[in-house]
């Protein structure tokens, strides 16, 4: 579905992401793991078209770079970390903003029945239907993040790119968000590429793990073949021992 080949990108100096290749199939949830500064966000930003890059970037056989912005937004949506809601939109209006890629004459052209249906479905799926008339400036962090997720879904992309969407969220909200994403990705024709801060959450969510080391792919394996010991070298510590010791506190 998504094919990335020999992708490199950066910020003008030496490339931060180097020669990265991977594929994501329909229904797949690929999580990118690696320590701070290894290039996870940079890679996601390049996939989202927010950073110039070299290499192959195709979705459904189409060159993503050659697509007009709207067409591209129908294929890929980036959901990033909690961003403060600066405007007094209602939740319903904020989620409707996700429909811009589908509204021919722009947002001022008026909402269609399909727009309303997509917004309502997204509000339902993310559990924000009851909040629809509230102002986004008056929501808690967890509620706001679910509203952002609803807006991402309303865009009706084929692939959702996640940049640490669970950061700053309480455990319950983290688990909820991941469950919602799992449900969303189970509809045919969809996939997820995600960076999740929490390794445990990433391993629970992913069916494929891509390890990024100094901007290059160290491994890209399905979960059932993934060797957890690879995390030790990548993070420079005995990750499994740390996890086991932490878990013992709960028994």
Would you tell me which residues interact with ligand ADP (CB under 6 A)? 11, 16, 34, 36-42
First to last CA, the chain: 42
Phi, psi of 130 (to 5 degrees): -70, -20
CB-nearer residue toward ligand ADP: 16 or 119? 16
* Residue 135 in tokens: 């102002």
CA-based nearest residue to 132, from 115, 146, 142: 146
CB of 35 to ligand ADP, least distance (A): 7
CB 81 within 8 A of CB 167: yes
Closest CA to 16 of 50, 33, 34, 41: 41
Give min distance, CB of 164 to ligand ADP, in A.
Answer: 8
- By beta-carbon proximity to ligand ADP, the closer residue of 37 and 189 is 37
Q: What is the smallest separation between the CB atom of 194 and ligand ADP, expressed in angstroms?
A: 12
For residue 135, give the DSSP letter.
B
Question: Closer CB to ligand ADP, residue 5 or residue 37?
Answer: 37
The residue among 11 and 87 lying less far from ligand ADP, judged by its C-beta, is: 11
Report in angstroms how near the CB of residue 213 gets to ligand ADP at its nearest: 10
Which region holds residue 234: left if phi is over 0, alpha if psi is between -120 and 50, else beta? Answer: alpha
Dihedrals phi, psi of 186, to nearest 5 degrees: -80, -10
| Minimum CB distance to ligand ADP, residue 114 (Å) | 35
| Distance of alpha carbon 188 from alpha carbon 100, whole angstroms | 23
Query: Smallest gap, in angstroms, from Cβ of residue 141 to ligand ADP?
Result: 21
Say how far apart CA 171 and CA 53 lie, in whole Å: 35
Specify the residue, 20 or 192, whose C-beta has the smaller distance to ligand ADP: 20
Closer to ligand ADP by CB, 17 or 150: give it.
Answer: 17
């Amino acid at each position: 579905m998504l094919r990335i080949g020999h992708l490199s990108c950066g910020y003008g100096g030496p490339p931060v992401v180097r020669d990265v290749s991977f594929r994501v199939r329909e229904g797949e949830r690929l999580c990118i793991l690696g320590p701070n500064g290894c290039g996870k966000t940079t890679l996601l930003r390049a996939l989202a078209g927010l950073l110039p890059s070299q290499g192959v970037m195709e979705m459904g056989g189409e060159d993503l770079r050659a697509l007009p912005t709207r067409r591209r937004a129908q294929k890929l949506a980036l959901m990033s970390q909690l961003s403060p809601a600066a405007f007094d939109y209602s939740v319903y209006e904020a989620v409707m903003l996700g429909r811009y890629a589908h509204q021919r004459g722009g947002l001022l052209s008026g909402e269609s029945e399909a727009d309303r249906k997509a917004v309502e479905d997204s509000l339902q799926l993310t559990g924000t239907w009851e909040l629809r008339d509230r102002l986004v400036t008056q929501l808690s962090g967890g509620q706001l993040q679910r509203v952002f997720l609803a807006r991402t879904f309303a865009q009706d992309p084929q692939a959702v790119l996640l940049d640490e969407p669970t950061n700053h969220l309480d455990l319950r909200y983290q688990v909820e968000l991941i469950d919602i994403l799992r449900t969303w990705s189970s509809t045919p024709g969809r996939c997820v590429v995600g960076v999740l801060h929490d390794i445990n959450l990433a391993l629970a969510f992913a069916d494929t793990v891509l390890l990024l080391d100094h901007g290059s792919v160290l491994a890209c394996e399905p979960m059932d073949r993934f060797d957890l010991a690879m995390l030790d070298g990548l993070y420079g510590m005995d990750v499994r021992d740390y996890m086991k010791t932490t878990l013992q506190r709960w028994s």
